Amino acid sequence: MDKIIYTTNVSNLTYGRGYVYSLQYHIVWCTNYRKKVLLDGIDNEIKDYLNDLAKEYSFSIMAMEVMPDHIHILVDCKPQFFPSDMIKILKGNTARWLFMKHPELKKQLWGGHLWNPSYCIVTASDRSYDQVKQYIDSQKTR
């Protein structure tokens, strides 16, 4: 039986002090009750805010699309950054910021919660990275 050897693209690796890594996560989360409230320019505001959060917490957003009722994001982060903590930061900060900037959204959502408590997170490998990025980029045209 022949062995198949997979190699990684060395240019995609990040070097830290004592470690080398390449971690990408495709994250999707929805508005509560799948209400279509991320419309009329709010989607662009959220994109800007998420980019600011990424700079503040030192992770990279590789691809992002804000749909009327959910968000797709592809992030590259350090191994010390737990995915569950990153999701808490993304969902919690955007909800707080968005309700302060657009208080009228609370009236459209029963209970005053912006995000559904669940989320989907999938790792992206060297082999699937381009497919995931293309999928996220094509969300608005689907």
Catalytic annotation, residues? 135
Question: What is the β-pairing status of strands 24-30 and 120-124?
Answer: antiparallel
Q: What is the DSSP string of 99-130?
A: HHH-TTHHHHSGGG--B-S--EEEEE-TTTHH
Q: In the chain, helix, strand, coil percent, each to 5?
A: 40, 25, 35
